[in-house]
Amino acid sequence: MQWDWRVWRDRLVHVWRGSLRVRTIVLTVLLSALAVTVIGVVISSSVRANLFDSRRDQVIAESGRAAEQAQRIFTTAAELGDGTDVQATADSALATVQRSTTARYTALLRVPAQDVPRVIDDQASRDFQPGYASTELRATVIASDGTDVAWQSVAVDSEDGLDPGITTGSILDTISAGRYQLYLVYDLSDVQQTLDFVQSTLAFGGFALVALFGGVAYLVVRLVVGPVRVAADASEKLASGQLEERLPVRGEDELATLARSFNGMADSLQRQIRQLADLSRVQQRFVSDVSHELRTPLTTIRLAGDVLYDQREDFPPTTARTAELLHTQIERFEAMLADLLEMSRYDAGAVQLETDPTNLVRLVEESIIAVEPLAEERGSEVRLVAPGGYFEADVDARRIRRILQNLLGNAIDHGEAKPIVVYVDSDERAVAIAVRDYGVGMSPADVERVFDRFWRADPSRQRTTGGTGLGLAISLEDAAVHGGELAVWSQQGEGSCFRLTLPRRRGDELGGVSPLALPPDAEVAA
């Protein structure tokens, strides 16, 4: 249940935050309901007070008159003399009172504790309850003299529950039989009915008003938010690449201005994207043309150079050396052209992955075997430490091999004839390959530039691998196109470590974590 409640709360919060329409309408309805309630309460209480006051005044005046008449009857009877029956006089006075008022109940009660003998019985209507005249009222009435009328609000029993009522009290002097209290109980249910009617009218009017406000708010919001929502949808489509998306322009109002400027923006975007696409096509076309145009003469040069190189032993020494130089420089030129073309392909976004299930440890082993002659020549031993990574990962083996050749070549070049360790490890999300050398290392400034094109760590350093200056830049792209990353760590005098991290499955996110630390020395015992 707790859970359910939270789900609902979250859903409500989501709707509340997510829809301007809902928010506006709910706020409008709530605020107008509050205003209508306040107004209704004020009106109804003022009407009630007015109705009650006027009815009370009327009741008091009526009671006053009735009491005067009754008093007059008693006074007249006293003037006529002793012969009169006091009880009959009281009956007649009470009858007069009942006749001349609209009171529901009447009561004539003797003021207690008088020296005069009791001659008249207490008289009250059948349903008169003692509670209708409270102790306080009785005290006030007993203390009053003659013409004053005291009153109090009471609840009067009726067939359907309690009705509001007023009890008035005044004092009558029977002269011969002492003082009596006269109580008249009035029923205010007619006033209550009027009030109920007024209140229900007010409530109905209030509800209608709130509903009307809600309706108006809904209409206004529809008029304003509707187009905004259409604009939002259109922007989303535009952002997702549907460049043809436009807003309909109607009229001359602010929304039309919005639509016009949106369409203007879309036009401009579409134009620029088209230009970019054209540029990219031109670039790709250029790359393809350069590829063909340069490679054709290069092929001839290469063939010619190789033919000369193969026959160099028959040449005089200078010519033979020339043939050798020609051969090596053609190879270098070729490598550079290939790298340049590869880089251009990446720049043009024209790179396609050709993935196959590949065992990365085996791939690393092959790459190490390929560089072994060079490593031996430079006196470096290449070791493999592979606690993990023995599974088939979907990668483009050609590109991964290229990255490894690059990293290994660099490590051998800058490794100062010290051992080079290649680590392979994996976790459930990624597989990582790190190439660690213990050579010269790089300064922090160098580390920042290491992936820059045509950047070289130390221009004076002798190069054996004949790098083109594009190797790491291409490796970075090769890693990125797999959804992986290539990271570097280096410290002067302590060597460098390049770490390639690839997601196990294509399209997975790495999330910035790698199965190997950088450098991994401490973690994996070499």
Provide the binding-site residues for other proteins, judged by CB under 8 A: 288, 291-292, 295-304, 306-307, 310, 334, 338, 341-342, 352, 354, 357
Q: CA 520, CA 382: separation in Å to the nearest integer?
A: 16
Q: Which of 262, 246, 265 is nearest to 254 (CA)?
A: 262
Shortest Å distance, C-beta 304 to other proteins: 6
CB nearer other proteins, residue 23 or residue 295: 295
Rg (CA), the chain: 53
Shortest Å distance, C-beta 478 to other proteins: 14
Shortest Å distance, C-beta 217 to other proteins: 60
CB nearer other proteins, residue 306 or residue 324: 306
Quick check: 247 and 233 in contact, CB under 8 A?
no
The strand pair at 495-503 and 420-426 is best described as unpaired
Shortest Å distance, C-beta 406 to other proteins: 18
Where do the DSSP E strands lie in 398-510?
Answer: 420-426, 430-437, 485-491, 495-503
Sheet holding 105-110, edge to edge: 123-124, 105-110, 179-187, 161-173, 150-158
Other beta carbons within 10 angstroms of residue 455's beta carbon come to: 15
Shortest Å distance, C-beta 5 to other proteins: 53
- Which tokens hold the place of 61? 């005046």
Shortest Å distance, C-beta 515 to other proteins: 25
Mark out the alpha helices in 149-253 (DSSP H runs). 189-239
Q: CA 170, CA 154: separation in Å to the nearest integer?
A: 16
Matching residue, tokens 């990125």: 480
CB nearer other proteins, residue 306 or residue 427: 306
Mark out the alpha helices in 85-188 (DSSP H runs). 86-100, 135-143
CB nearer other proteins, residue 17 or residue 285: 285
CB nearer other proteins, residue 199 or residue 358: 358
Quick check: 59 and 186 in contact, CB under 8 A?
yes
CB nearer other proteins, residue 301 or residue 385: 301
DSSP letter assigned to residue 457? S
CB nearer other proteins, residue 365 or residue 446: 365
Shortest Å distance, C-beta 368 to other proteins: 15
CB nearer other proteins, residue 216 or residue 282: 282
Helix H or strand E encompassing 62 = helix 20-80
Shortest Å distance, C-beta 427 to other proteins: 24
